[in-house]
Amino acid sequence: MSADVATPSGLSFDLAHEPWIPCIAANGAAGERSLRDVIACAHEIKEIADPSPLVTIALYRFVLAVIHRALADDNGAPWPRERADCAALWDAGRFPADRIDAYFDRQSADHRFDLFGRQAFYQTPTATFAKAPAPIERIVIGDRASNTRPAIFDKTVRRSLTPAEAARHLVTLHGFALGGLSHVTEGGSGARGPLAFGALFLARSESAARPETLFATLLSNLVIVDSRGLGSSDQRPAWERDDAVVTDSAYVPHGYLDLLTHQSRVVQLTPEVALDGTVLVTGVHIGPGRTIAAAHKAAANGETVDSRGMAIGELETTMMLRQGEGKPPFRMSMDRAMWSTAHTLYAAAETKPSRQLGVVAHVYALEEVIDEFLPDGVVSLEAFGVTLKNGGGAVDGWRRERLPLIAPGANGAARQAARGAVEEAIGEAERVSDALERQSRTFARDVVTRGRTDTKAAKQANEVVAALGGQRDYWAALAIAFPVFVARLARAVDDVGDLDLQAIADDWTREVHGTATRAFSGVLERLAADGRHWHARDRPLNTTTLARAEARLAFQDALQAQGAKRR
């Protein structure tokens, strides 16, 4: 903590120079680093890693926005301007510390990154509130106590946060704030933050032959900002703006960096000094903030919106285009892995460029200008996201998983064929999933409803099948096998003389069928063990060993029919 700045509270916590971002160093040591060190020493750090994946992805987005701005040219245009800029930085092996330091010196002089200073980083110090501050746990996304009134003696409630913790959750709040009254302490309902709709993607150019570094990850996600499709030339991020954040249901971002640093809530933190001199944040005011305008409202204001080419924060702009439909392009589900529903992620760039994620196109382009940028020929996408309940007012769960993509490049025809094999593999997994669901429902009807086919019986059977978790078991097991399958394809592409995609595809099919069989057996056994809970006592359940054996045979027949149909 520094005390040389006179602020209304007499406190200061400069995020540029105080440690607050949790990282894992190249040697595996965990610790907090300042914003300046995270960027200037990114080549010595493996990754940003908070226990909450929502905080992790929010911090990545924030750091990317800072780099875009800190390395901007004299006209304020965000860095990079062209792929050659990335190639030159890759050759240097690190971000330029002199330019990073110069930027933070300018911002620190105006207290722009001071959590408690007169600018109050990512807050609205000029806002007035009628009520007393709410407990600080209201700022924590995904915490049970943040969405409900805590019970007496509930030891999970956070009575205070350190300034470092408060800063992390403040950055996360603006992206993942839930709808309704969940993350508003007064002033009415708030709209969901721009990240609380679907999935976000972080590209990693990792390789078995090269240690993973934060520098490489950040470079993989620093897309060319010139093509963001937001018409304004004003590319200042939120912390450089003096205009107060007010409730606005149709806010049009001024530029890409304003979009990345969008403030969806009006916030004021309440710090206190403990008897031992420790500074803690114990309270918070949260009011409704800005809601990003739909595309038609943006057009009315003279702005153009284009979702192609967006990087890690592309979902906000995509949602502008899709808001009328009410569906983000990629959703998270607690029942199935992300890769199983994201067919467009595996589409070949040559055939569906308009549907390709901007960060994927960026990494593909870097491979063309940087030697050995993807030595294994695989891009690893890390997907982050939440699933919501209660109308979007509470977190049901979160997912974080990696999705491998085969990049274009040398041996283009072979790589394209391999990517086609990936799409077919996903399709095969989907078809077998459908067969698993149908057979599970059939057996549930026989056991629970005694073969009745009325609407009530069908609903009851569906509830039973969902509760028994066959689909969860199936997709969870394939989430482990799928990256292995993609890696085999990539190795086969590199060794063209031994390119046998059909043999690899056949192995995948056997893996899928075996996984489905095991998942179905689990459904049968759990239904037999727990069947008494699903039916009235005077109606005996048909869960004999013979019945279960017949169900397994029926499922094997369905899989064989599926395989014959595929051929």
- Per-residue pLDDT tens digits of the chain, which is 567 residues long: 333 333 445 799 999 999 999 999 999 999 999 999 999 999 999 999 999 989 999 999 999 999 999 999 888 888 998 889 999 999 999 999 999 999 999 998 889 999 998 889 999 988 888 899 999 999 998 754 444 444 433 444 568 999 999 999 999 999 888 877 767 888 777 777 777 766 777 888 767 667 889 999 999 989 887 544 554 567 889 899 887 677 766 777 777 788 788 888 999 999 999 888 899 999 999 998 877 765 434 444 444 444 333 334 444 444 333 333 344 556 677 777 777 766 666 654 445 554 566 777 788 888 888 887 887 777 888 888 777 776 666 777 777 888 787 776 656 677 778 878 888 898 899 899 988 888 888 777 777 666 667 777 778 777 877 778 888 899 989 988 998 898 888 878 766 555 578 889 999 999 999 999 899 888 877 776 665 554 443 344 455 554 666 666 677 777 766 665 555
pLDDT at position 537 is 37
- What three-state secondary structure class fits 263? coil
Helix 83-92 × helix 358-369 angle, to 10°: 60
pLDDT at position 400 is 82
Residue type, 36: R
Q: If we measure between CA atoms, which residue out of 29, 338, 56 comes closest to residue 217? A: 56
- Output the pTM of the full model: 0.82
Strand 378-389 to 199-204 pairing = antiparallel
- How many Å is the maximal CA-CA distance in the chain? 81
pLDDT at position 291 is 77
Residue 208 DSSP class: T
Counting Cα atoms < 13 Å in the Cβ hemisphere of 525 gives 6
* Distance of alpha carbon 120 from alpha carbon 116, whole angstroms: 5
| Whole-angstrom Cα Rg for the chain | 26
Q: Is the peptide bond before 211 cis (omega within 30 degrees of 0)?
A: no
DSSP secondary structure, 278-291, as one string: -EEEEEEEEEE-EE
* Helices within 148-276 (DSSP H only): 163-176, 214-221, 256-260
At residue 310's C-alpha, the angle toward residues 229 and 258, to 5°, is 65
Sheet holding 134-135, edge to edge: 134-135, 279-288, 265-273
Contact between residue 229 and residue 256 where contact means Cβ atoms under 8 Å apart: no
Cα dihedral value 304, 386, 219, 109, nearest 10: 80
pLDDT at position 232 is 57
* Distance of alpha carbon 357 from alpha carbon 346, whole angstroms: 10
Taking phi over 0 as left and psi of -120 to 50 as alpha, with beta for the rest, 302 belongs to: left
Q: If we measure between CA atoms, which residue out of 74, 92, 8, 47 comes closest to residue 202? A: 47
Contact between residue 311 and residue 454 where contact means Cβ atoms under 8 Å apart: no
pLDDT at position 329 is 55
pLDDT at position 35 is 97
Can you give 461-499 as a three-state secondary structure string?
A: HHHHHHHHCHHHHHHHHHHHHHHHHHHHHHHHHHCHHHC
Instruction: Extract the tokens encoding 82.
Output: 């062209």
Strand 290-292 to 45-48 pairing = unpaired
- Interacting residues of 486 by C-beta distance below 8 A, sequence separation 6+: 378, 404, 405, 406, 422
* Distance of alpha carbon 207 from alpha carbon 379, whole angstroms: 9
Contact between residue 195 and residue 171 where contact means Cβ atoms under 8 Å apart: no
Residue type, 433: S
Backbone angles phi, psi at 56, to 5 degrees: -60, -50
Look up tokens 């001199």; give the residue: 277
Residue type, 85: D
